[in-house]
Structure 1
């Protein structure tokens, strides 16, 4: 845990129950909280508080609860409260059990400074409501409002809330967009970026990042002023279905590019990777990539950054570069990555013949700006310069981009 903190990790996402086996149920039977599991969480919260990392907590591992439903204590066949997976969102008895679990967790750990917020339902899905996407909003109405009222009654305030979604379901069921990105009871929006053929089974390390940039652009636009981030992504199809663990060097590049695309699109942080590796942990290279991103963050005044996605309006005179960015009238973040320098293995290799690139960044107020170019691999500033914005367009001399780089823009003389 100290290792995570020292590499810039501030928040982890954990499920209260991982039910891929028979010895990790939080409740068994329904309503009886297993002492060993409760002690595990007591110990983990104590550790999180000591180290200074927060947790986004979700009450159920709905994937394994679905595939192993015949074993789960909530199954009515096992003396539980619900007859089928298709009634999870609608059954009054299931709702009561969910609230009881959330009440227990909130009363015991909800006052901890280590709790970032609740993901009150992991990967909400129409199948959890009998195949009807319209069941998501009433579920959120009920459970989110109940939890908020319960927490305010217990301690005078409520923790942040969100609901996560398996990203492709937003395309299959567009009506889910309103519930996920704009439900009035949720505090931030949360997606799992598992796009088929790009992110879930990567053939190179750049295409998945460009997919993330595209998907996050849409997410940021749908969420409006609400913060949004990806809390689960990775090569799930390669790992789970093809039984293939990506080579570490490839996976490190895939991870690093995705996190910069996520941040530059306007997402909060670099996103959260589900390892999809043996062993089930991120590599040293991925931690180093997180550390490099963490070193970049102080270059931006986040308390004043009302960012919107700029990706479609950015321009560059180097046709081999793809640009992702976000900004407001006073600041901007840009990530530039080469699309024309991939090895046969799909990794990005330095393009030594790259000419100095010029970026056009729109939307800034006229004036003088400090421009910082940043090496995303080394986690170090490449150069600092100044540029003037006129007519709402800032022209930035970024230098030659051999692989990728990030750019931070801020007023040269901030008030």
Structure 2
């Protein structure tokens, strides 16, 4: 897997075939009582994802289920490696690829964290503390000390020996939300470790991630990330959060995730002078300040939030769909896997690299228009402005169908050709086709919440 040589906004396989990640976080079996239950969970999740058009998921190596270093720093557990191998083998058999996140701890000892709800991950790692045989006594020393780095590199070597050639692994991520960890020096540590990661996993994407992009405090870290050498994809985490500093994070989900993608696209281009891939690597809804999964999930049996998390980032210029976080308490609980199939069908046959696709956005009195403008084919996602989580889930008002609307295209779009429609909520379309005539606009079929429009020139340029 690599950044596309033809269009740096996207990813591709070694043979140049475009790869659009369609999936979510399946980071750990949160409520499994033992290893066998955890494997059963992964079996169910991966089969559901693959059956519904998914091709990608993320897992956390630092969780006890996968932890290959569970007791003492530098002592590795073959049993945990075997579990990881079983999950990766199953993924490969189902046509799925994964991103492996190596660490997520924030402290060496128990410390206050926002995530204190049932099933929340633990964020301390006592194995590295000198009182338990580890090399350091603080996170400052972990980031800056050569001894701690040696332990980390030993772990990378051990993993590379077993998994560097595994075909299911497409990306290795140094840390989950590293700026949430204690201590100073994680920036320099990252800059030192990314080349080491690539040296051991040369055929994979190498990455770093930061915490939720929801306030001014996060801006310097994200600007640093966008200019970080060796970080193949600029990842962003953003949630609907009623406690967020920025107003955009308290509004419509499509708007907040699209804004995050656009911002990183701009900053990445400014920093490097070239277009590079961006992914919404975590998204969803939380209680204020990430105190837990959003109570809105209790009412969101249709997946209104999930739909916007999936669609808006890609149509705003991301390399793939947005990747939801709450896989168990939301997606699996309400059996929302079908949304991944709808996204996959919506983009089927559209190659953003071959088309040289560029994101374009505009609004009408009724719609937000997210378009990927291509040479021969353009794909447009329309989102009704009059309904969102606040009207449907909070106020309890049903979405009113959009009827009798015409879509007027911007001047950059072709004025002749063919138009097709796909309704992702009813899973119908692509069969009905109409001609595109001059500047009269497109007569839209009646739809609820969102619609996908495909524009095709009658004389392909390729």
Judge same fold: TM > 0.5, yes or no.
yes
Q: Does 2:69 correspond to 1:4? A: no
Look up the match of 2:102.
Answer: 59
Residue 228 (structure 1) shift: 1.3
Look up the match of 1:386.
Answer: 435
Q: Does 2:75 correspond to 1:26? A: no
Q: Does 2:89 correspond to 1:46? A: yes
Look up the match of 2:190.
Answer: 140
Q: What is the CA deviation profile of residues 200-239 of structure 1, one whole-angstrom value per residue up to 9, with x for unaligned ones?
A: 9x9x997122211222221233334211111212223269
Say if 1:104 and 1:395 are closer, same or farther in 2 by CA, change over 3 A: farther
- State TM-score, norm by structure 1: 0.82
| Structure with more relative contact order (C-alpha pairs < 8 Å, separation 6 or more) | 2
Say if 1:283 and 1:252 are closer, same or farther in 2 by CA, change over 3 A: farther
Residue 285 (structure 1) shift: 4.5
CA contact (8 A) 1:69 1:85 kept: no
Which secondary structure state, in structure 2, belongs to the residue aligned with residue 73 of structure 1?
helix
Look up the match of 1:114.
Answer: 168
Within 5 Å, give how 1:43-192 maps onto structure 2: 43-62=86-105, 67=111, 72-125=126-179, 127-130=181-184, 135-136=186-187, 138-151=188-201, 157-168=202-213, 171-192=216-237
Look up the match of 2:311.
Answer: 260
Q: Aligned equivalents of 2:260 and 2:180: distance in 1? A: 21
Q: What is the CA deviation profile of residues 115-151 of structure 1, one whole-angstrom value per residue up to 9, with x for unaligned ones?
A: 1111122112175442x6xx42x32331111222334
Q: Aligned equivalents of 2:207 and 2:393: distance in 1? A: 41
Q: Aligned equivalents of 1:221 and 1:38: distance in 2? A: 39
Q: Aligned equivalents of 1:329 and 1:228: distance in 2? A: 22
Look up the match of 2:443.
Answer: 397
Say if 1:374 and 1:188 are closer, same or farther in 2 by CA, change over 3 A: same
Q: Which moved more, 1:234-243 or 1:374-383?
A: 234-243
CA contact (8 A) 2:104 2:177 kept: no
Look up the match of 1:372.
Answer: 420
Q: Which moved more, 1:58-67 or 1:294-303?
A: 58-67
CA contact (8 A) 1:166 1:194 kept: no
Q: Aligned equivalents of 1:108 and 1:115: distance in 2? A: 12
Structure 1 unpaired stretches of 5+: 152-156
Say if 1:69 and 1:380 are closer, same or farther in 2 by CA, change over 3 A: closer
CA contact (8 A) 2:286 2:293 kept: no
CA contact (8 A) 1:240 1:276 kept: no
- State TM-score, norm by structure 2: 0.75
**Among 274, 283, 291, the residue aligned to 1:233:** 283
Say if 1:198 and 1:127 are closer, same or farther in 2 by CA, change over 3 A: closer
Q: Aligned equivalents of 1:74 and 1:385: distance in 2? A: 64
Q: Does 2:320 correspond to 1:269? A: yes
CA contact (8 A) 1:329 1:363 kept: no
Q: Aligned equivalents of 1:238 and 1:174: distance in 2? A: 20
**Among 285, 288, 292, the residue aligned to 2:342:** 292
Residue 171 (structure 1) shift: 3.6
Q: Aligned equivalents of 1:173 and 1:240: distance in 2? A: 15
Say if 1:217 and 1:182 are closer, same or farther in 2 by CA, change over 3 A: same
Q: Does 2:387 correspond to 1:337? A: no
Q: Which moved more, 1:69-78 or 1:339-348?
A: 339-348
Q: What is the CA deviation profile of residues 231-261 of structure 1, one whole-angstrom value per residue up to 9, with x for unaligned ones?
A: 2122232696267642253561111122111
Residue 95 (structure 1) shift: 2.1
Q: Aligned equivalents of 2:456 and 2:171: distance in 1? A: 31
Q: Aligned equivalents of 2:419 and 2:393: distance in 1? A: 34
Matched residue pairs, number?
Answer: 395
Residue 63 (structure 1) shift: 5.5
CA contact (8 A) 1:336 1:404 kept: yes
CA contact (8 A) 2:213 2:260 kept: no
Say if 1:265 and 1:16 are closer, same or farther in 2 by CA, change over 3 A: same
Look up the match of 1:358.
Answer: 407
Residue 408 (structure 1) shift: 2.5
Say if 1:198 and 1:264 are closer, same or farther in 2 by CA, change over 3 A: farther
Q: Aligned equivalents of 1:232 and 1:401: distance in 2? A: 28
Structure 2 unpaired stretches of 5+: 1-45, 112-121, 270-274
Aligned alpha-carbon RMSD (Å): 3.5
CA contact (8 A) 1:71 1:78 kept: no
